[in-house]
Structures are given as C-alpha cells and as structure tokens.
Amino acid sequence: MVLIAATVRSAEPTAHTIYVVSNGWHSNVVFERRHVPAGLIPETADFPDAEYLEFGWGDAEYYPAKKTTLGMTLRAAFKPTPAVVHMAGSFREPARRHPTAEVVALRVSETGLAQLIEYIHASFERAGRRKAEIKADGLFADSLFYPAVGRFHLGNTCNMWTARALNAAGLEVDSTAATRAEELMRQLRPLTEAP
C-alpha cells in the first residue's frame, strides 16, 4: 500500500480530504459520506451505514463482468459503448480497505468538494427518475453498478473520468493525459506534500 497526500493550491483554505485509489488498471474517487448534501447522489440510500463512498466509471459490459473476453475488451476499447458507475460503501478508510492499491489523499476546499460531489451526482443516468436503478451487483459485497452518463472508449476511459472529477474539485489534472491509471497517478504524485 502506498499512501500519498497532496494539497490543492487555492486561495480558499483547505478543508477536506478526498482519495484516489488505483489498482494499476482502474481508478476510483473516495470521500466521506457525511459531506454529501441532501438531494445529491440519492443512490447513497443503498448504502445506509457507509462512512466512505467510492465511485468508479467504466464500460457497462466489461467493468461488471466476472469473466472478460477478447471481444468485450475490443468493443470497450474501440467502439463507444454504454457506461456504468460503480459505487461502494465502506466503514474503512481507503488505505485500509485497499491495502495492495496505491491510495492518494488530496486536500480540497469546501467549494472543490461541493463541485466534485455535483460532478459525481451528474454522472448517474437516472432517466427522469429521482434515483438511478441498480444495474448489477458490484465488484464487492458492498457495491453496486448503476447506469452512467457518457460513452466509454479509448478517448474517454475510467481514468479520464477520475481526472475530470479531480478537475471539478479544483485540482489541475490533464484528463487527456490520463488514459491509463499510471498516467493519472503520475500526475498526482508531484503534488505530494506532508499531511
């Protein structure tokens, strides 16, 4: 496990910590559930006891698959395909939940956190309903997949989605240079400061 702390450079005082988790292939954004205001991300109701919420975005066929095929991989890479949001709820801090992953702690302003939450809220495809319908069981016992806004392809990957989430939070990350998880994490590591 690698835990790196980074701070957004802003005139507004740093107020909150968010996390990016990378398994070397895929990245997720994590923050404390208590920061989600009423009316946003209504899907949190599916995780009533969670202290931390974790969000990822990806191809609707490949991401949830228990077993992937070459055909699924090629479709996800080269053809714009429907997307899903993967949401997990946990009691454990990200570094404890994902002990073999790289976890980067990022300090963001109150405004940055609010904008990040709005970005994630807007990533769910609710089709006119108050809450998105559950599409599939998640990758973990405490996670679920939901329909997402946008199409997945090589020019719009899960890690680019994470980079845009960080942009919304006020961090300067180049989403066009974040196709792969390592490209994203490489951009975050130089931001490291002592907590």
CB count within 10 Å of CB 31 equals 23
101-143 residue pLDDT tens? 999 999 999 999 999 999 999 999 999 999 999 999 999 999 9
CB atoms within 10 A of CB 175: 19
**pLDDT digits over 164-195, tens only?**
999 999 999 999 999 999 999 999 987 764 33
Q: How many CA atoms lie within 13 A of 179 on its CB side?
A: 4
Task: Give the torsion sign (CA, 146, 125, 39, 27).
Answer: positive
Is the pLDDT reported for residue 53 higher than 80?
yes
CA distance 179 to 163: 9
Nearest-angstrom CA–CA distance, 67 and 55: 21
